[in-house]
Amino acid sequence: MKNQISKTYLFKIYKKYFNELRILTYRIRQDYSNFRKYRATFSDFDGEILYCLVRERKPNIVYEISPDCGFSSIYITSALAQNNSGKLYSFEIEKKKFNIDTKKLIKNNIKNYSYKNHEIIIGDVVETSKSFANPDMVLIDSCHDEWFAKWYINHLFPRLNDIAFVQDITFYDRVEYSGESKVLMKHLKNKNYISLGIIERLENFKKINNFFPKRRSFESNSIILSKKIKIEKVLPNKEDIFKNNFFNLRINNNRIYEIENKLEPFPQRQNIHRTYLRLSKIKDKGFYLKKAIGFAITQLHYNSKPFNETLLFLLLNLNLIFMLRMLFFHPSSAVVLLRNVFTQLKDRIYKRI
């Protein structure tokens, strides 16, 4: 029987693989601009813990559902290469990404982290995974619909020998808004699991994490669970003071300070600009608008959503000077702005009908 998973266990392995992680995270940081050209949506802490778990638990078979462009794959292949054992199956539904054959794209993206026993399988994992040996470990970061969670709970978990690492389920203080997390949370009611968002905020973990260069420094929303292994209960604190960033505007000052304090520290909250925009409607308008704009600009080189949403917000709230300054900064976003205005108008007309 392999070791149970607890805070103490995770800390022990985080320390144990510290030197390997320093080297690996530095290499990923150097390659990050290449990953970002495609997509890289796996947070730093998740990658580090996933690496340590694969190193320590030495699985024979790992399923990665799904690799997308291969960013999460690098943590798994790197750990398997150090173990010098185990096989990774990466299941991906899309044949092509960015007009490039998916297998080729992934292989090229992870060439500095490649591992001999790695097979990429194209197709719907629900079908394609049936014929492979049962996994010891599985990473699930795939389709976020209800049916998909039902599939893995009923058909994949019974085949799993050790642990599942599931991304996009709960942050340390809120549940992801998806059909998948709704179904999984219901399944986990009264069961133990570990919220990595809570773990990454523990001081002893932060002290180690500070040594690693930031790659994709967003907060963790992963959980670790198992049917066969004992798991300590480390549940998220589910009182969502942000309400997915669209919180009630009639809140008191203490609550505002609480929100501000939670906004500032790293790792970053996703879509933080929305919270700043909301705060700008409560107090210190210019200050918070600048913060939202600042964040939007920092993201612009690989994600234009914050920039476009901020522009639309400025237009709808008639903060025209700020809006024009943003347009000056990035004139081509005017096209997206017009498209967004058109969509808004259409939605309003349809609602009336």
Residues that bind ligand SAM (CB under 6 A): 39-42, 66-68, 71-72, 91-94, 124-126, 141-143
**Residue number with CB closer to ligand SAM (91 or 171):** 91
**To the nearest whole angstrom, how small is the minimum distance from the Cβ of residue 135 to ligand SAM?**
15
β strands within 143-233, DSSP E? 163-166, 194-195, 223-225
CA distances from 128 to 65, 90, 133, 162 (A): 11, 11, 12, 21
- Contact (CB, 8 A) for 83 and 58: yes
**Residue number with CB closer to ligand SAM (153 or 251):** 153
- Distance, in Å, from the CA atom of 80 to the CA atom of 54, rounded to the nearest integer, reads 7
**To the nearest whole angstrom, how small is the minimum distance from the Cβ of residue 258 to ligand SAM?**
30
User: What is the number of H-type helices and E-type strands within the chain?
Assistant: 16, 9
170: nearest Cα among 142, 195, 206: 195
**To the nearest whole angstrom, how small is the minimum distance from the Cβ of residue 307 to ligand SAM?**
21
- Distance, in Å, from the CA atom of 340 to the CA atom of 319, rounded to the nearest integer, reads 17
**To the nearest whole angstrom, how small is the minimum distance from the Cβ of residue 169 to ligand SAM?**
13
- Contact (CB, 8 A) for 223 and 194: yes
**To the nearest whole angstrom, how small is the minimum distance from the Cβ of residue 69 to ligand SAM?**
6
**Residue number with CB closer to ligand SAM (17 or 91):** 91
CA 127, 128, 134, 135 dihedral sign is negative
**To the nearest whole angstrom, how small is the minimum distance from the Cβ of residue 38 to ligand SAM?**
9
**Residue number with CB closer to ligand SAM (76 or 296):** 76
**To the nearest whole angstrom, how small is the minimum distance from the Cβ of residue 251 to ligand SAM?**
32
- Contact (CB, 8 A) for 245 and 278: yes
**To the nearest whole angstrom, how small is the minimum distance from the Cβ of residue 70 to ligand SAM?**
7
Task: Write the DSSP string, 94-144.
Answer: -SEETTEEHHHHHHHHTGGG--SSEEEEES-HHHHGGGSPPPSEEEE-S--
**Residue number with CB closer to ligand SAM (41 or 317):** 41
**Residue number with CB closer to ligand SAM (28 or 125):** 125
Give the three-class secondary structure for 292. Answer: helix
- Distance, in Å, from the CA atom of 91 to the CA atom of 195, rounded to the nearest integer, reads 24
- Distance, in Å, from the CA atom of 263 to the CA atom of 290, rounded to the nearest integer, reads 15
Q: What value, to the nearest 5°, has the Cα angle with vertex 198 and ends 197 and 204?
A: 110
Name the DSSP letter for residue 158. Answer: G
**Residue number with CB closer to ligand SAM (92 or 311):** 92
**To the nearest whole angstrom, how small is the minimum distance from the Cβ of residue 40 to ligand SAM?**
5
**Residue number with CB closer to ligand SAM (281 or 305):** 305
**Residue number with CB closer to ligand SAM (126 or 235):** 126
